[in-house]
């Protein structure tokens, strides 16, 4: 969201739709459709009661073992950055799948826990449920840390 293009403050009660509003601002330009017109965004951040829920879909171009290590390191980095901002980790979780294998990684404190299982379908999907930071901070952390692996 770039505030210099918005004539008024937007929130869930403002009555306008950001996608439509942004489209009208750029109606004189020819450009590709917004990503959310084609598929769900790779990262979303929403509020739920007093928590923030950031969800993500990733593609990690590596072997299952390498992707497992990469995903563990990225989730641990997300946890560390949330903690540095004074946030509280409710749960950070991802499911890693590759042909014939899968691994669920779960973080509720500082260390991760791995649960392996068989799967027939390397993609990762997950959520970060956190408290004590604002949505823009979680969105920035997820994009910075997970950016190289975002599904397109």
Instruction: State residue 12's pLDDT score.
Output: 39
- Closest C-alpha among 67, 63, 77 to residue 149: 67
> Residue 27: is its pLDDT beyond 70?
no
Which has more confidence, 122 or 119?
Answer: 122
Instruction: State residue 34's pLDDT score.
Output: 43
In the chain, the number of structural domains is 2
Residues 9 and 43 in one domain: no
Residues 69 and 143 in one domain: yes
Contacts of 58 (CB under 8 A, 6+ apart): 42, 71, 94, 123, 124, 125, 146, 149, 150, 151
Instruction: State residue 39's pLDDT score.
Output: 63
Q: Confidence class of residue 121 from pLDDT cuts 50, 70 and 90?
A: very low
Q: What is the pTM of this model?
A: 0.64
pLDDT digits (tens, 9 = 90+) for 62-87: 888 888 999 999 999 999 999 999 99
Residues 5 and 77 in one domain: no
The whole domain housing 22 covers 1-34
Residues 9 and 54 in one domain: no
């Amino acid at each position: 969201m770039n505030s210099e293009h918005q004539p008024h403050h937007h929130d869930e009660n403002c009555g306008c739709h950001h996608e439509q509003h942004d489209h009208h601002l750029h109606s004189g330009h020819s450009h590709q459709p917004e990503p959310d017109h084609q598929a769900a965004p790779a990262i979303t951040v929403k509020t739920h009661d007093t928590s923030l829920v950031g969800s993500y879909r990733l593609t990690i171009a590596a072997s299952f073992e390498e992707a497992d290590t990469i995903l563990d390191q990225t989730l641990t980095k997300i946890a560390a950055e949330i903690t540095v901002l004074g946030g509280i980790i409710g749960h950070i979780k991802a499911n890693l799948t590759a042909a014939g294998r899968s691994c669920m990684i779960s973080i509720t404190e500082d260390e991760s826990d791995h649960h392996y299982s068989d799967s027939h379908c390397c993609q990762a999907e997950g959520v970060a449920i956190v408290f004590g930071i604002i949505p823009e901070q979680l969105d920035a952390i997820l994009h910075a840390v997970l950016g190289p692996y975002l599904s397109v």
